[in-house]
């Protein structure tokens, strides 16, 4: 393998790391396996009932060895036992099965450091479960015993004493056991240690993955297997306690009710026939069917009451704020009747965990089991608690959110401890020492970085003479994958032909410039909050000034937002194919440092809505408004018909229609856009869009057509006419929705009564009539009844001509134009005639359709949602 191919592999690895977010979970191609009971047989299973003279059988089928049977594991330590005949049931929580309570009746006592040693036939993750209850012993008082338990590498308990001498303590850990595995009990000076029962049992490899999504950064971090874990909470949402009997991995799951802080908003649902997709992480062992078969969902009652429910389902658990935690959330869509109906946001401690989680795309089936791992950094646990929330996305059609199960697990710290800052050898790891854990996981990264540096140097050496004049350093340095590997190798490793670099490749694809993160940082004064000109689901939009003085709008995606990655991809894909005077154009983008940043032409006059109401801008005249509507209609008409596939915008609203310095309207924000699958004439999809603009038919049937955009545009037209918000919750019931309200007035023939009073006097009656007719047709109940964007455009043009004719009645030129249009309309019974008129009357000559297929770095698979 040559040096270059080696580097190439390293790069691929990096890219794989980047794309890990989507790769990790079940792919939709794998076959579906229905659930059926399965038993896991651990290669190693040590179950010891310490201090007991007889073995103990539990009703879940497990047998714990007696003390004589297990004495061979105890390599050091003296033989002191304690036992009681019975224990008050108040010592146990409700979730402890009664047969398990027997394990606490006897204990072994150590007055000096003592070690259990186990032969490990299959090194790897093992449960270590410890049972403590200070039973009575005539000589040794176990209630005051203080001791440390460690494995030689990881500290499980440090200077531990039972918090309440009447309560049993159960501790569950996951450690990587290597042969031989030791469990060391070390009493504090002049004290003693004790243990009632011990489990050391293999864990199936697939149970824990090495990576998790970090909160709040949102990127994927590896190295989870380097940590020892203590299970803190394991909840079965909406379900009963599941005991080791119900879980082949002998786990206990408890109901979520004590942690659910907004039970009024939650409703229990149950399902059955849970499906698991094998491979890539999801197996039946991850959690028992019973966990996935129950869930808490957002209650349907409050939806009916409030129309736009605004709450999250929330669970709060107390944790040790000095540790980081691994949080595993289990999901299974047992609520939907069909696919693509459920999507919601997931938050952890107020930070976005997953934006717009769409279980249908993850599992491809209803009732498909799915889980996500998050790692919550200690630095973000401010209140000593972990708060897990699921709730509606801002654009939810049918708001709902579910959670089936939740596991909260403490991660060992820099002292390799799960309890304090003392390492297994007794040394103190507080202070400012280099983090050991970081070093472990960082080692691999560091060597990778060295190699990358090597590549940079090689590339730097071979840099083109004019590199400074080129678009950017990164544009010729950064490689990107392509299905065409010969392209990659030739471009990437600097053959003579490749001089043109990547920026030109991207611009050939219509993507414009490839910006470096630094360039954009300096363009926005390091993303200064004062430079924010808009905030959306995707992230923030900043105004920036490039080095050459050009003003640009810079849209920076929330890192780690799944919605963000998808929308970023969609937007780049869409814009790469589209060029039109009435669509906002993309100048370039940046995807360095796992940033997702898009750079657009700056639209001086901002969103149309600001010029209609709420922002104290000078009033737009009727003619200006018509021009703007016509421009936007042209942009949409082009979207629907101009591109090969036909594109549905999906989020037409007045904040997505932007105005440049000359008040020319441009349609923006293609993050939700979808290519219409023309064979079927519609796309079946989860309802997305903005409240107040949503096509009711789309809402009902989840079938997206261009006519959904037409509906939304109809709402825009009324908004422009009436200059009021599309939803005003404070108004009387019949006025809340602009679409309904305007339609009522229009039906009564009195639309003039609700026209924006600032312009009412200047509107020609005929022009208004035509305009309102156009808007009304757009709002047709059924898509088939609504006009095409081309027809809408025609009517708006006509309305404009009527307005101009009335104000400039003596100008013969305009009049002749009007007559021409009227003739055209007369001959327009054949709907096909209208586009022809349009083509000659419009300025669509600038239309170009750039590039064919776009190859883009795999920031995650481009997926529809």
Distance CA 690, CA 827 (A): 37
Residue 324 interacts with ligand NAG (CB under 6 A): yes or no? yes
CB of 245 to ligand NAG, least distance (A): 4
Among 63, 310, 427, 762, binds ligand NAG (CB under 6 A): 310
Interface characters, 724-753, with ligand NAG (x: CB under 6 A): ------------------------------
State which of residues 110, 132, 311, 538 lies at the interface with ligand NAG (CB under 6 A).
Answer: 311
Which position among 651, 669, 695, 756 bears the catalytic label? 651
Instruction: Annotate 87-137 with three-state secondary structure.
Output: CCHHHCCCCCCHHHHHHHHEEEEECCCEEEEECCCCCEEEEEEEEECCCCC
| 127 near ligand NAG, rule: CB under 6 A | no
347 binds ligand NAG (CB under 6 A): yes
Tell me, residue by residue from 401 to 430, as one string, x for binding to ligand NAG by CB under 6 A and - for no binding: ----------x-------------------
Q: Segment 474-503, which members bind ligand NAG (CB under 6 A)?
A: none
Q: How far is CA 189 from the centre of its chain?
A: 50
Q: How far is the CB of 331 from ligand NAG (least distance, A)?
A: 17
Task: Give 305 or 379: the residue with its C-beta nearer to ligand NAG.
Answer: 379
Residue 260 within binding range of ligand NAG, rule CB under 6 A: no
Taking the complex as a whole, the smallest distance from the CB of residue 147 to ligand NAG amounts, in Å, to 26
Those residues with Cβ within 8 angstroms of residue 522's Cβ, 6 or more apart along the chain or in another chain = 547
- Out of 28, 30, 99, 225, which residue is the one contacting ligand NAG (CB under 6 A)? 225
Tell me how far, at minimum, the Cβ of 154 lies from ligand NAG, in Å.
11
Sign of CA dihedral 8, 9, 10, 16: positive
C-alpha–C-alpha distance, residues 257 and 239, integer Å? 9
Nearer to ligand NAG, 4 or 262 (CB): 262
Element spanning 301, H or E: helix 300-306
**Binding flag, residue 438, ligand NAG (CB under 6 A):** yes
Q: CB of 441: closest distance to ligand NAG in angstroms?
A: 8
CA–CA separation, 51 vs 68, rounded Å? 8
Tell the burial category of 679 from Cβ atoms under 10 Å away from its Cβ (0-12, 13-18, 19+): exposed
Number of amino acids touching ligand NAG (CB under 6 A): 27
Find out whether 65 is annotated in a ligand binding site.
no
Contacts with 460 (C-beta within 8 Å, 6 or more apart), sequence order:
none
- Looking only at residues 135 through 174 of this chain, which bind ligand NAG when binding is defined by CB under 6 A? none
Choices 251-259, 305-313, 788-796, 800-808; region in contact with ligand NAG by CB under 6 A: 305-313
Q: Does 350 bind ligand NAG (CB under 6 A)?
A: yes
The DSSP H or E segment spanning 815 is helix 812-826
Binding to ligand NAG (CB under 6 A) within 197-216 occurs at: 214
Collapse the DSSP code of 148 into the 3-class scheme (helix H, G, I; strand E, B; otherwise coil) and give the result.
strand
Q: Residue 151 or residue 324: which is nearer to ligand NAG going by CB?
A: 324
Q: Are 537 and 560 contacting, i.e. CB atoms less than 8 angstroms apart?
A: no
The interface region with ligand NAG, picked from 306-314, 486-494, 521-529, 642-650 by CB under 6 A, is 306-314
245 binds ligand NAG (CB under 6 A): yes
CA distance 812 to 830: 29
Nearer to ligand NAG, 392 or 564 (CB): 392
477 sits in which H/E element: helix 473-477
* CB of 834 vs ligand NAG, minimal distance in Å: 44
Residue 465 is given by DSSP the state: T
Asked whether the beta carbons of 676 and 644 are under 8 A apart, the reply is no
Can you list the positions of beta strands (E) in 602-661? 606-607, 647-648, 657-659
Contact window for ligand NAG (CB under 6 A) among 239-247, 416-424, 470-478, 539-547: 239-247
The residues, any chain, with a CB within 8 Å of residue 856's CB and separated by 6 or more, are: 480, 569, 572, 573, 862
Tell me if 125 contacts ligand NAG by CB under 6 A.
yes
CB of 375 to ligand NAG, least distance (A): 5
**Measuring CA to CA, which residue among 617, 607, 598 is closest to residue 553?**
598
| CA-CA-CA-CA dihedral for 226, 227, 228, 231, to nearest 10 | -130
Choose between 305 and 382: whose C-beta lies nearer to ligand NAG.
Answer: 382
> In the bound complex, what is the minimum distance in angstroms from residue 352's beta carbon to ligand NAG?
8
> Which of the ranges 256-264, 310-318, 335-343, 452-460 carries the binding residues for ligand NAG, by CB under 6 A?
310-318
- Minimum distance from CB of 432 to ligand NAG (Å)? 12
Applying CB under 6 A, which of residues 96, 246, 516, 801 lies at the interface with ligand NAG?
Answer: 246
Q: Does 266 bind ligand NAG (CB under 6 A)?
A: no
Pick between residue 144 and residue 306 the one whose CB is nearest to ligand NAG.
306
User: How many Cα neighbours within 13 Å face the side chain of 285?
Assistant: 16
Q: What is the DSSP string of 839-858?
A: HHHS-GGG-B---SSPP---
Active site residue 528: no
3-class DSSP state of 588: strand
Residue from 43, 240, 444, 696 binding ligand NAG (CB under 6 A): 240
| Residue 710 to residue 717: CA distance in whole angstroms | 10
Quote the least distance from Cβ 207 to ligand NAG, whole Å: 10
Q: Is the peptide bond before 814 cis (omega within 30 degrees of 0)?
A: no
Burial class (CB in 10 A: 0-12, 13-18, 19+), 649: buried
CA distance to 556, 557, 586, per residue, from 535 (Å):
10, 10, 18
d(CA 406, CA 232): 11
Binding flags for ligand NAG, 105-124, as an x/- string (CB under 6 A): -------------------x
Q: By C-beta, is 347 or 493 nearer to ligand NAG?
A: 347
Q: Please, which residue, 19 or 355, has the CB nearer to ligand NAG?
A: 355
CB of 363 to ligand NAG, least distance (A): 23
Selection from 546, 550, 654, 673 nearest residue 609 by Cα: 654
Q: What is the DSSP letter of 297?
A: E
- Residue with smaller CB distance to ligand NAG, 202 or 566: 202
Element (H, E) at 698: helix 696-701
- Binding ligand NAG (rule: CB under 6 A), the pick from 290, 543, 590, 647 is 290
Binding segment for ligand NAG among 308-316, 551-559, 648-656, 852-860 (CB under 6 A)? 308-316
312 near ligand NAG (CB under 6 A): yes
Cβ-based neighbours of 431, under 8 Å, separated by 6 or more: none
CB 91 within 8 A of CB 166: yes
Nearer to ligand NAG, 122 or 617 (CB): 122
Query: Contact letters (x/-) for ligand NAG, 354-393, by CB under 6 A?
Result: ---------------------x-x-x--xx-----x-xx-
Q: How far is the CB of 333 from ligand NAG (least distance, A)?
A: 20
User: Which is nearer to ligand NAG, 89 or 178 (by Cβ)?
Assistant: 178
3-state DSSP percent of the chain in helix, strand and coil, to 5: 35, 25, 40
Nearer to ligand NAG, 257 or 489 (CB): 257
Residues of each annotated binding site for ATP? 555
Residues of each annotated binding site? 555
Positions marked active-site: 651
Point out which residues bind ligand NAG (CB under 6 A). Answer: 124-125, 176, 178, 214, 221, 225, 240, 245-246, 290, 310-312, 324, 347, 350, 375, 377, 379, 382-383, 389, 391-392, 411, 438
């Amino acid at each position: 393998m040559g040096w270059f191919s080696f580097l190439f592999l390293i790069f691929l690895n990096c890219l794989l790391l980047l794309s890990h977010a989507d790769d990790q979970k079940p792919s939709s191609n794998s076959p579906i396996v229905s659930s059926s009971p399965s038993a896991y047989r651990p290669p190693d299973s040590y179950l010891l009932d310490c201090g007991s003279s007889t073995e103990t059988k539990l009703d879940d089928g497990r047998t714990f060895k007696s003390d004589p049977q297990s004495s061979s594991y105890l390599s050091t330590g003296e033989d002191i036992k304690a036992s009681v005949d019975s224990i008050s049931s108040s010592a146990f929580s409700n979730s402890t099965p009664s047969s398990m309570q027997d394990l606490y009746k006897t204990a072994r006592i150590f007055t000096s450091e003592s070690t259990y040693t186990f032969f490990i036939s299959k090194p790897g993750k093992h449960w270590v479960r410890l049972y403590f209850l200070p039973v009575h012993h005539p000589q040794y008082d176990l209630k005051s015993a203080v001791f440390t338990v460690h494995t030689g590498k990881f500290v499980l308990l440090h200077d531990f004493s039972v918090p309440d001498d009447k309560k049993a303590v159960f501790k569950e850990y996951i450690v990587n056991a290597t042969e031989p595995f030791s469990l060391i009990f070390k009493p504090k000076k002049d004290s003693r240690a004790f243990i009632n029962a011990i489990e050391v049992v293999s864990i199936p490899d697939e149970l824990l993955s090495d990576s998790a999504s970090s909160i709040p950064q949102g990127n994927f971090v590896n190295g989870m297997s380097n940590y020892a874990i203590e299970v803190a909470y394991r909840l079965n949402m909406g379900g009963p306690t599941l005991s080791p009997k119900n879980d082949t991995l002998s786990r206990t799951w408890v109901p979520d009710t004590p942690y659910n802080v907004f039970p009024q908003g939650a409703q229990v649902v149950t399902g059955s026939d849970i499906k698991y997709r094998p491979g890539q992480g999801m197996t039946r062992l991850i959690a028992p069917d019973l966990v996935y078969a129950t869930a808490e969902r957002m209650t349907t009652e409050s939806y009916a009451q409030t129309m736009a429910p605004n709450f999250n389902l929330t669970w709060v658990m107390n944790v040790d704020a000095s540790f980081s935690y691994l949080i595993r959330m289990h999901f299974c869509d047992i609520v939907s009747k069909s696919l693509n109906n459920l999507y919601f946001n997931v938050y952890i401690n107020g930070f976005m965990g997953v934006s717009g989680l769409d279980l249908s795309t993850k599992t491809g089936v209803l009732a498909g089991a799915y889980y996500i791992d998050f790692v919550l950094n200690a630095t973000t646990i401010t209140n000593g608690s972990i708060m897990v929330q699921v709730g509606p996305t801002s654009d939810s059609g049918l708001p709902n959110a579910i959670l089936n199960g939740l596991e909260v697990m403490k991660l060992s710290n820099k002292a390799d401890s799960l309890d304090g800052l003392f390492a297994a050898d007794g040394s103190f790891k507080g202070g400012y020492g280099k983090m050991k854990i970081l070093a472990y996981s960082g080692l691999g990264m560091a060597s990778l970085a060295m190699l990358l540096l090597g590549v940079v140097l090689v590339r730097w050496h071979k840099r083109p003479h004019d590199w400074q004049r080129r678009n950017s350093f990164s544009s010729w340095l950064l490689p990107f994958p392509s299905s065409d590997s010969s392209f990659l190798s030739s471009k990437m490793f600097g053959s003579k032909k490749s001089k043109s670099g990547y920026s030109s490749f991207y611009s050939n694809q219509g993507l414009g410039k490839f910006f470096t993160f630094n360039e954009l940082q300096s363009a926005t004064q390091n993303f200064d909050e004062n430079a924010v000109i808009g905030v959306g689901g995707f992230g923030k939009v900043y105004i920036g000034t490039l080095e050459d003085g050009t003003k640009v709008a810079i849209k920076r995606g929330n890192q780690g937002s799944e919605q963000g990655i998808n929308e970023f991809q969609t937007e780049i894909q869409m814009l790469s194919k589209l060029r039109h005077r009435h669509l906002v154009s993309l100048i370039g983008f940046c995807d360095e440092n796992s940033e997702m940043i898009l750079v657009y032409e700056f639209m001086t006059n901002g969103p149309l809505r600001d010029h209609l109401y709420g922002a104290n801008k000078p009033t737009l005249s009727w003619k200006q408004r018509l021009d703007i509507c016509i421009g936007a209609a042209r942009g949409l008409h082009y979207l629907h018909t101009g591109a090969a596939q036909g594109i549905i915008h999906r989020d037409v609203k007045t904040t997505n229609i932007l105005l440049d310095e000359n008040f020319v309207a441009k349609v923006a924000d293609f993050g939700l856009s979808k290519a219409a699958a023309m064979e079927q004439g519609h796309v079946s999809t989860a309802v997305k869009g903005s409240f107040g603009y949503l096509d009711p038919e789309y809402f009902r049937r989840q079938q997206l057509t261009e006519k959904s955009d037409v509906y939304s545009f109809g709402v825009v037209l009324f908004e422009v006419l009436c200059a009021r918000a599309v939803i005003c919750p404070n108004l009387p019931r019949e006025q809340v929705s602009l679409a309904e309200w305007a339609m009522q007035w229009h039906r009564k023939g009195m639309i003039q009564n609700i026209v924006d009073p600032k312009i009412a006097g200047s509107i020609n009656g005929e022009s208004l009539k035509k305009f309102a007719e156009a808007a009304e047709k757009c709002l047709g109940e059924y898509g088939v009844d609504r006009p095409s964007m081309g027809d809408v455009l025609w009517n708006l043009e006509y309305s404009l001509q009527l307005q101009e004719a009335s104000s400039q009645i003596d100008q013969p030129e305009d009049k002749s134009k009007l007559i021409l249009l009227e003739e055209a309309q007369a001959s327009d019974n054949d709907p096909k005639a209208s586009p022809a008129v349009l083509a000659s009357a419009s300025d669509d000559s600038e239309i170009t359709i750039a590039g064919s297929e776009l190859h883009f770095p795999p920031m995650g698979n481009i997926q529809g949602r």
